[in-house]
Amino acid sequence: MKNVIVYLNGRYLKKSDAKVSFLDHGLLYGDGVFETLRAYNKKIFRPDEHFKRLHNSAKKIYLKIPLNSIKLNYIIYKLIKLNNLRNAYIRVTVTRGPGEPGINPGLCKSPTQAVYVKEFKGYTDGIYSKGVDAVTVSTMKNHPEAINPSIKSCNFLNNIIAGIEAKSKNAFEGIMLSREGWVAEGCVSNIFISAGNTLLTPPPGVGALDGITRREVIELAAKSGIKVIEKKFKKNKLHESQECFLTNTLLEIMPVTRIDGKTIGNGKPGKFTKLMMKKYKELVKSEK
């Protein structure tokens, strides 16, 4: 089996040799932040945006990340080279670090900093041409005033439970609602629907992460003459929409053709969805 090389606290190690303390507060409390990136043809896509969000997330939980964006960039490219990768999945994780049990951040003297890369082949063309099933789940999004949705936290239990529920219903993705019943986001994705000649997407205020791919879609839509409104809407709007798609770094733009067993539109990816898929592919290709 190929020896995958990872980065951990200043060292490049075989994955099997990379160990963290069982007293790491990332393990004990989920106290940390992370980012997921992709590399296409050996080039990281939108690294600055991801690194900025990583540092902003850390700032909001009062965690200082010693690695700056330049150093992170260097580490990832070195790992891509060491692992002989072309198209890669990239995970950057920073936790509070090891320390005695307790929620006082002062118990941890230095953060744990880890970067992992592996080959990423993406999803098959058949999935994108057919679209996927989604379901609304009973697990609610954390209230924005309890957990700020702009923090991409290692404490991901809310989304994990929602994902388990979606999987039990044989769905590709679970759609999470706020306590008030507003559509927030998928377990691991942002969501867009069509409303006439307009695209709607939930605003971060209802509990949605301001995803990097989400932002790209909003910009691409504007350049294509399609109006995008960040607006609160409820579950019935999902069922009534003519189109729906999910976005994240790994999925890019994934069509949804059934929600809660109800067919969306004509049961095939719609014109807006296909246009955004095309424009996003062109954007990625232009930057390789």
Does 200 share its domain with 234?
A: yes
> What mean pLDDT comes out for the span 207-234?
96
For the chain, give the mean pLDDT: 96
Does 167 share its domain with 38?
A: no
Domain CATH for 24: 3.30.470.10
Does 153 share its domain with 186?
A: yes
Q: Which of 119, 140, 165 is the C-terminal boundary of a domain?
A: 119
Contact at 8 Å (CB) between 238 and 175? yes
> What mean pLDDT comes out for the span 58-66?
96
Closest CA to 269 of 252, 286, 284, 285: 252
Percent of the chain residues topping a pLDDT of 90: 95
Tokens of 282: 């062109």
Cα dist from 52 to 80, 231, 247, whole Å: 21, 25, 19
Q: Which domain holds residue 142?
A: 125-286
User: Which pLDDT score is estimated for 287?
Assistant: 83
Does 60 share its domain with 139?
A: no
pTM: predicted TM-score of the whole model, two decimal places = 0.95
Find the length of the chain: 288
> Residues 6 or more apart from 156 whose CB is under 8 A from it?
30
Cross-strand partners of 201: 230
Does 172 share its domain with 279?
A: yes
Contact at 8 Å (CB) between 224 and 230? no
Does 138 share its domain with 188?
A: yes
Q: How many domains does the chain have?
A: 2
Q: Which of 79, 103, 119 is the C-terminal boundary of a domain?
A: 119
Does 84 share its domain with 170?
A: no
> What mean pLDDT comes out for the span 88-102?
98
Cα dist from 190 to 11, 22, 47, 237, whole Å: 34, 33, 19, 16
Does 115 share its domain with 246?
A: no
Phi and psi at residue 19, in whole multiples of 5°?
-125, 145
Residue-wise pLDDT for 1-34, tens only, equals 478 999 999 999 999 999 999 999 999 999 999 9
Does 28 share its domain with 169?
A: no
Does 92 share its domain with 130?
A: no
When pLDDT is cut at 50, 70 and 90, the band that residue 108 belongs to is very high
Residue-wise pLDDT for 153-202, tens only, equals 999 999 999 999 999 999 999 999 999 999 999 999 999 999 889 999 99
Does 143 share its domain with 275?
A: yes
Q: Which of 119, 134, 157 is the C-terminal boundary of a domain?
A: 119
Does 226 share its domain with 280?
A: yes
Domain CATH for 186: 3.20.10.10
User: Which pLDDT score is estimated for 3?
Assistant: 81
User: Which pLDDT score is estimated for 1?
Assistant: 45
One-letter amino acid at 240 equals E
